[in-house]
Structure 1
C-alpha cells in the first residue's frame, strides 16, 4: 500500500480495504484475521504462473548486505508471485512473473 500516512481506526466495515501494520511478523504470504472463534480460514490463492524474469542482485557496499537480505524477505512475503533464493554461486536471485 502506498498511502501517504498511517491513520488508526477503531473498525472497518465489510467491503473496505485497509492496511495493517506489523502483521508481516506473523503471517507468511496470506492469512485470515478474525475475532470470531467460529470463523473459517479463507482458502489460500494458488498461482499457476512460473517466474518469467530472473535477476541476480548484489550490494555495492558489503555493510548493506543485511538490508538486502531483509528487503528480499519482505518482497517475497508481500508478493505471492515473487521467489527469492541464494544460488550455489552465492548470488541473491529474485524471480517473478
Structure 2
C-alpha cells in the first residue's frame, strides 16, 4: 500500500512539474546548454557501460552453454543474437534521445 501511494504521489508531482519545465521561452543559456551536453555525455556513457556488461554476460552464458552441449549450439546462437540485439537497442534509444536533446534546440 505504501509503495503504491508513493508511486501515485511521484506521478502526480512529475505531471504537474512538466508544464513548468516546458514553459521556458527564448534561447538556451550557456549554463543550460552545458548541462544538456554533460547530461547527454553521461547518459550515453552509462548506457554503453550497461549494454557492454549485459552483452558480456550474455556472450559468456552462450559460450558456456555451447561448451556443455554442442548439439544445441544453433538454438543458443539464435537466442543469443536476439538477446544482443535487444540489449543494443537500449544503447540506440539512448543515442536517439541524446541527439534530440543536443540538436532540437541548438545552442
Larger helix fraction of residues: 2
TM-score (norm 1): 0.29
Larger strand fraction of residues: 1
TM-score (norm 2): 0.27
Larger RCO, structures 1/2 (Cα 8 Å, 6+ apart): 2
